[in-house]
Amino acid sequence: MNNLYEKKIYAVFGNPISHSKSPEIHNFFYKLYNLNQKYIKIHLSKKNFLKNISFFFKRGGKGANITLPFKEKVFSLCHEITNRAKIAGSINTLKLFENETILGDNTDGIGFLSDLLLKKIVKRKFNILIIGAGGAARGIIYPLLKFGCNIFITNRTFNKAKILSKEFQNFGNIESITLKNLNQMKFNIIVNATSAGIFNNIPLIPENIIRKETICYDMFYKEKNTNFMKFCKNFGSNKVFNGIGMLVNQAAHSFFLWNNIFPNVKKTIKFLTKKKIKKNNKSLKY
């Protein structure tokens, strides 16, 4: 552990964390730009997690990513919080300044939008259906509204979709829509922002909302072809994507915050998709 801090050290904190690909992504960025930095993953106990993140910074950590289930719980560590993190209600990036103050930011939403833009699959005024009304959905709404898209939120528990859409109504065109009424609308992009994929499930949506030209995007990234992606392909979409692009783009925006360099995202995605995911990927425990 001591030797670690001789380099500029960054980490992702979560529980669980073994699945995280962030170290592979950031360590690839360091190679690309020849930086003497190291990025590790840290399994954080749910007890005393704020103290343990503070300890990391006291030991010389320069920045961190925060993942589930701590994203909504680290606001009190920050001396300054970006607008987009405040609006998303969650923080996925911490940056330590030289004066020892900490900035909290959220790069999930901008990472998602950047991926859509890089893929050239989004336009202003597009109708985007977001399935799910949890943290993942909440994180992407603001940048999409700001970009000028019309957002529709649906959810198994409809009331949550209603509450979420109300919360964002001052930022642009957003409304909630029941699963039953989905087939009355035409969507350009359908995003799976549910956690159904964790158990290899898919949200129950009417298949006739999927057309050949409908862009289907699964934010849940576990394997190349998720069940949601298979479902969308089966029902005719020929533009189906997994969340790897979002993952790399949110990492790129965090890296930019820390190093003031925007890394080559395309090269990184190529590297990740070629590389067989290493099993036995060890993490530190705090």
Enumerate the active-site residues.
71
Structure tokens, 231: 């479902």
Q: Which CB sits closer to ligand ATR, 231 or 255?
A: 231
CB of 173 to ligand ATR, least distance (A): 21
Residue 157, interface with ligand ATR (CB under 6 A)? yes
**Residue 70: CB partners within 8 Å, gap ≥ 6?**
13, 14, 15, 44, 49
Look at residues 234, 242, 244, 236 and name the one whose alpha carbon lies nearest to residue 266: 244
Select the residue interacting with ligand ATR from 94, 133, 191, 209 (CB under 6 A). 133
The C-alpha atoms of residue 161 and residue 51 are separated, in whole angstroms, by 34
Phi first, then psi, for residue 87 (nearest 5°) are -70, -40
What per-residue string of b and e applies to 77-109 under the rule 16 or more CB within 10 Å gives b? bbeebbebbebbebbbbbbbeeeeebbbbbbbb
Structure tokens at 188: 């350009």
Q: How far is the CB of 200 from ligand ATR (least distance, A)?
A: 10
Q: Of 157 and 273, which has the nearer Cβ to ligand ATR?
A: 157
Stretch that binds ligand ATR, among 91-99, 130-138, 145-153, 278-286 (CB under 6 A): 130-138
By DSSP bridging, strand 215-218 and strand 189-192 are: parallel
Binding window for ligand ATR (CB under 6 A); candidates: 36-44, 94-102, 126-134, 238-246: 126-134
Write the interaction track for ligand ATR spanning residues 176-215; mark x where CB under 6 A is met and - where it is not: ------------------xxx----x-x------------
Q: Which tokens hold the place of 223?
A: 């394997």
Q: Which two tokens stand for residue 286?
A: 């705090």
CA 39 – CA 283 distance, rounded (Å): 11
Choose the stretch contacting ligand ATR; rule: CB under 6 A; options: 21-29, 33-41, 48-56, 150-158.
150-158
Question: Shortest Cβ distance from residue 105 to ligand ATR (Å)?
Answer: 18
Instruction: Check: CB of residue 190 under 8 Å from CB of residue 216.
Output: yes
* Cβ at position 113, least distance to ligand ATR in Å: 18
Q: Counting contacts by CB under 6 A, is residue 89 touching ligand ATR? A: no
- Interaction of residue 156 with ligand ATR, rule CB under 6 A: yes
Q: Which is nearer to ligand ATR, 52 or 195 (CB)?
A: 195
Give residue number: closest CB to ligand ATR.
134
Taking every pair of Cα atoms in the chain, the longest distance, rounded to a whole number of angstroms, is 60
> What residues have CB less than 8 Å from 58, skipping those under 6 apart?
none
Identify which of residues 213 and 223 has a Cβ nearer to ligand ATR in the complex.
Answer: 223
222 forms part of the interface with ligand ATR (CB under 6 A): no
- Dihedral of CA atoms 108, 214, 240, 175 in degrees, nearest 10, equals 30
Told to check if 160 binds ligand ATR by CB under 6 A, we report yes
Give residues in contact with ligand ATR (CB under 6 A): 132-136, 155-157, 160, 194-196, 201, 203
